[in-house]
Structure 1
């Protein structure tokens, strides 16, 4: 179990550069096996999830190498093998191999997905999409077996609820299917647009991404000829913007696509955070007086569920009560008891997170049970007086590129004891 040790109560300054989007990367790596030629990805974040996915590629005889944020994947000798349950349960995004293996081989055997425990995240909409394309789905030995004995054929799929994961998985399965697939009530996240750009540059025919209706005309082959640059991570950006507003004496956050953060930026400006939004960066001025706000998460372009936790510590500095309603994952509250240990005036009441003004946090020992909750604790630890020890800090490393180096560049007093392979 890794630990992160933070000596807090210090003002930070300097600049930080946002890495490539985790949520794009973990979809595009499985998508790479749909190519008949080697693939090169640039601006790949150096996070634990990338290495976990590379391990899964190796199980399929897919060679990969990762250096200086450039990931090379060679799927030319890929073999269809079941993906072990143990590895799959360590990373929920591994379920994208369902769609990509089905698209490439017409069959996939994948262990039930794992990842962060933030409440129910069913895959029924994924299965609905696979069945609509002609696949048969069954469970066997704690795995999902998906097979299209007569091939995949385009069809119309209406998602009962907006689902990023289902939208991506259906795209991956449909891109090499026969005929046309139409996904209705599709998710609109920028990471889905990034995935479609990657696939289209290899010869796919995907239109309508970013809208609620996506049309995919299947093609027999995909060929990569140029490297693909992963878009900046809007969740990492929002996390550092929250950090900068909470403990910064002037911090420049670089490599940002501000339009991807419209809902988040509007909310922190409503709180009173003073920003200078530039072409591809945002400067956060020191803040002295903040007001409480109400946040309700919703699918993009609404306020991202992944940003409610990193925003929570900043709310403690407001002069009035703040309310968070997570309409996506209502059970995403496991960071709350840990913040209370630090002295936060925060509680869960009637399905809402209620955040009251808190004069001072105190360093203590807490646990990061998932990625974004860990980020929340990290920001709180930087705000707190004294030393905070964050247990299970490896969860933070799953989602934040080179985070220790970036915090050191801001003059944060942070150390990490994990024994990662990178």
Structure 2
């Protein structure tokens, strides 16, 4: 997946995009990456078979399958579902190199702790846009009775017994809410999570666990109550649609003009995005399971501040920055969740965006015409931001680092092509590119 030297040549893969105008069509949204990761991991909590539908076929999910197989989980993938049997788990020692490939590997701690009593795992990896501390995970799990030992390349978590507790998160954190929730379902007694994340992905996990026999109330609010049970059963569940993928497609029409319908979505999950796009001048129509966006390409400058749900998602901060480059006035984009998540702006400036980068926020001047260039995707959402920018750029844009894009999007190139975008994946073992893109 990564660029690598092959003899005296440089082997590379990249996405090539040419300017597109008036895109039209529809796209069906697949299951949520951020919901699938904890739900697949949660299958460790039961000795019975679980059948999941609408799980996206992306590299992050494949890593979790690989880790699961290493510790004794049987994963059977079919066209429209995956069957997971965790009855054969023999160890909770997770290979540090594999777990460091993506951030959400830490969900294995919450999912395995009650069953195996000790979990060994590498430090969080994944997107490269600043530190993602696990201090709230540690706080919550320690309150349940866990003990952490931090070593050079990995850490261990031990608990002879987990006991319910009243836990207040110092900051709203989706990852810690999920991890502690996973551990609490098999803990003895009641656990109360205060200042909990309200994300749809947390709700989806709670619904799934309740189907397995857990007793969880309050998911979707800032107070979640979990009464521990002795065991969980097998079940079937369909993952919710990916609101972040849907939001990116809705933004694309503001860059190219045209009309796009995203199907298989839950419009309520998209409201923070929809409201901001309407403010920017994009026309939105919603139905029971679809959202339609239409635009003549005339976009107004808007100010954006990210926040935890129901605030504007940090994962849509990067693509909306691309949308605002061609707006009629300047915009200010503030990321209150990950203040260092602006590496994509460096790449956008190579295309002529002239974005002014400051501590925790950027100023997008607007009224800029972009030109195609070699650019690099440093993380999942940076990749989609660069694709969106390329839709309106003169000439050809070539995006490297596409392994990051493949971590979160199953058919992104095919989906954009269906909408009329001139886009393709390219590879060559003798390509001549700027030195910073060669390994």
TM-score bucket of the superposed structures, by smaller chain: over 0.9
Pairing 1:136-147 to 2, within 5 Å after superposition: 136-147=147-158
1:375 counterpart = 2:397:
no
Deviation per residue, 1:218-237 (Å, 9 max, x gap): 11111113x20100111111
SS in 2 for 1:101: helix
The aligned residue for residue 437 of structure 2 is: none
Contact 1:232–1:255 (CA under 8 A) maintained in structure 2: yes
Structure 1 runs of 4+ with >4 Å offset: none
Pairing 1:94-243 to 2, within 5 Å after superposition: 94-149=105-160, 151-225=161-235, 227-243=236-252
SS in 2 for 1:32: helix
SS in 2 for 1:353: strand
The aligned residue for residue 412 of structure 1 is: 421
Contact 1:30–1:97 (CA under 8 A) maintained in structure 2: yes
1:262 counterpart = 2:262:
no
Q: TM-score, normalized by length of structure 1?
A: 0.96
SS in 2 for 1:404: helix
**C-alpha distance in 1 between matches for 2:405 and 2:344:** 13
The aligned residue for residue 89 of structure 1 is: 100
**C-alpha distance in 1 between matches for 2:97 and 2:291:** 41
The aligned residue for residue 365 of structure 1 is: 374
Deviation per residue, 1:182-234 (Å, 9 max, x gap): 11111100000000000000100011111111111111111113x20100111
Contact 2:281–2:295 (CA under 8 A) maintained in structure 1: no
Q: TM-score, normalized by length of structure 2?
A: 0.92
Counterpart among 71, 76, 81 of residue 70 in structure 1: 81
Aligned residues: 417
Contact 1:64–1:71 (CA under 8 A) maintained in structure 2: yes
How far apart are 1:251 and its partner, in Å? Answer: 1.3
For the aligned residue pairs, the C-alpha RMSD in angstroms reads: 1.4
Deviation per residue, 1:151-194 (Å, 9 max, x gap): 11111111111110110000111111111111111110000000
1:275 counterpart = 2:284:
yes
SS in 2 for 1:328: coil
Q: What are structure 1's unaligned runs of at least 5 residues?
A: none
How far apart are 1:248 and its partner, in Å? Answer: 4.0
The aligned residue for residue 41 of structure 1 is: 52
**C-alpha distance in 1 between matches for 2:92 and 2:157:** 13
Contact 2:53–2:82 (CA under 8 A) maintained in structure 1: yes
**C-alpha distance in 1 between matches for 2:217 and 2:97:** 36
The aligned residue for residue 254 of structure 2 is: 245
**C-alpha distance in 1 between matches for 2:295 and 2:193:** 45
Deviation per residue, 1:310-339 (Å, 9 max, x gap): 111111121111110101101000001100
Counterpart among 311, 315, 319 of residue 310 in structure 1: 319
Task: Say if 1:352 and 1:140 are closer, same or farther in 2 by CA, change over 3 A.
Answer: closer
How far apart are 1:6 and its partner, in Å? Answer: 1.2
Contact 1:103–1:175 (CA under 8 A) maintained in structure 2: no
SS in 2 for 1:335: helix
SS in 1 for 2:357: strand
